[in-house]
Structure 1
């Protein structure tokens, strides 16, 4: 198993956002984590990345303990995060943002090759490579955030709400890219409010409610669950 969370308790101050969650991400898969606002999805991502310290439980990556590791060390271990809200550097150019994703690497030829792959995947970024990140559209900023994350050559890519605030045509493009990145060998953990899209591309899915995992299974089975359909897919019970 590439990533395992066992009974993770985590939160902010006295508020526990995660109340003993367990989940697994097999190598080569796309695993989706769906749920309403405030369910604890983003806290899960931040806890994996070391941005929030767990109060209890265990995180293992490639069989090794990860809890307590600093965020920059987590990146070095092979995990990258595309954060909610993109969080690109507005006053740096597109290309500078991308190079920043590779800041821990020293293989110049490999970095150049990966930069070309990002531009091949996102031609609009190459067209705008000298522009400041803050001048890009929302969709282009999301492409930049994904491009920046893959420049670290992660084994596991965490995506936190990649479709938030984007036009439907751009949403489809982003999900096509997620499938492409996975097809190239990168394992993906996807947090997404657009449950329908997330379940369409995922192999396995977890449903979170108020800090608990309340349902899990193959993505197709979760999508067919009447409770999930009613709560997240716009259907009826």
Structure 2
């Protein structure tokens, strides 16, 4: 579904991604793990069109999307849940969700999808008229995920969904990610919590300072001594 082919990405003079190649097959959860600053979020920002690779290509469903505007990439079927939620604080929960459907004009389909989101996230249903900025961190994460799903993406990019959440909420968010995937949405997941990420992913890539140092089956990587020592606390 997605192929990232030998991309090099710079922030000014800083060489952030150095010849990164990876692939995401339809129906999979693929996770990127690594230390802070390794380049995980930069990969998502490049796939979603917020950054342009200097060299290399990003191919989605057989067509190059490198350098295409971010809003046009959403129209092609890729949606991102950004790091830090980035909900519109001074708008209601409902308005945030409706904004997620900005590329759509099928009012019946939008209404049906809103119902599905409220079914999946009952707390958002209870708070639909509440300002998004007054929600808890976990509720804002659910809202950011619901907003991204309103564009009906075939590929969902998730950037650090567990960041700043209590352990119980982290479990809940990861269960929801698995549900979304089981419903037919392919997922590319960036996550600091390597243990949780590897427990739900099919494939994994380990990043170190802008390069991929290891890749393979997520369960096998979770069992590897090298990964356990580096990312799973021994």
Q: Where on the TM-score scale, by shorter chain, does this alignment land: which range?
A: over 0.9
Who is 1:146 aligned against?
145
> CA shift at 1:11, angstroms?
2.1
Name the structure 1 match of 2:221. 222
Deviation at 1:12, TM superposition (A): 0.7
Partner in structure 2 of residue 165 of structure 1: 164
Q: CA RMSD in A?
A: 0.4
Match of 1:89 in 2: 88
What is the CA distance between 1:204 and its match in structure 2? 0.4
Q: Which residue of 2 aligns with 1:19?
A: 18
**Partners of 2:82 and 2:224 in 1: CA distance:** 29
User: What do residues 31-53 of structure 1 show as CA deviations (whole Å, max 9, x unaligned)?
Assistant: 00000000000000000011111
Q: Structure 2 CA distance, aligned partners of 1:16 and 1:58?
A: 16
Counting only pairs closer than 5 Å after superposition, residues 71-90 of structure 1 correspond to structure 2 as 71-90=70-89
Residue in structure 1 matched with residue 190 of structure 2 by the alignment: 191
Give the CA deviation at 1:180.
Answer: 0.2
Residues 168-214 of structure 1 show CA distances to partners (whole Å, capped at 9, x for unaligned) of 11000000000000000000000001000000000000000000000
Aligned partner of 1:3 in structure 2 is 2
CA distance in 2, matches of 1:147, 1:212: 32
> How far apart are the structure 2 equivalents of 1:64 and 1:15?
28
Cα distance between partner residues in 2 of 1:159 and 1:92? 22
What runs of 5+ residues in structure 2 fail to find an aligned partner? none
Paired with 1:118 and 1:18, the residues of 2 have a C-alpha distance of 35
Shift of 1:30: 0.3
CA contact (8 A) 1:11 1:43 kept: no
Q: Distance in 2 between matches of 1:79 and 1:170?
A: 26
How many residues are treated as equivalent by the alignment?
Answer: 234
C-alpha contact 1:114 1:151 (8 A) present in aligned 2: yes
Q: TM-score, normalised by structure 2?
A: 0.99
Where does the alignment leave 5 or more consecutive residues of structure 1 unmatched? none
User: How far is 1:117 from its partner?
Assistant: 0.6
Partner of 1:120: 119
How many angstroms does 1:125 deviate by? 0.2
Give distance in 2, aligned partners of 1:16 and 1:153.
34
- Provide the secondary structure at the position in 2 that maps to 1:223: helix
Distance 1:46 1:30 in 2: 18
Pairing 1:201–2:181 present:
no
Counterpart position of 1:100:
99
Q: Residues of 2 paired with 1:149 and 1:53: CA distance?
A: 21
1:227 to partner: Cα distance: 1.1
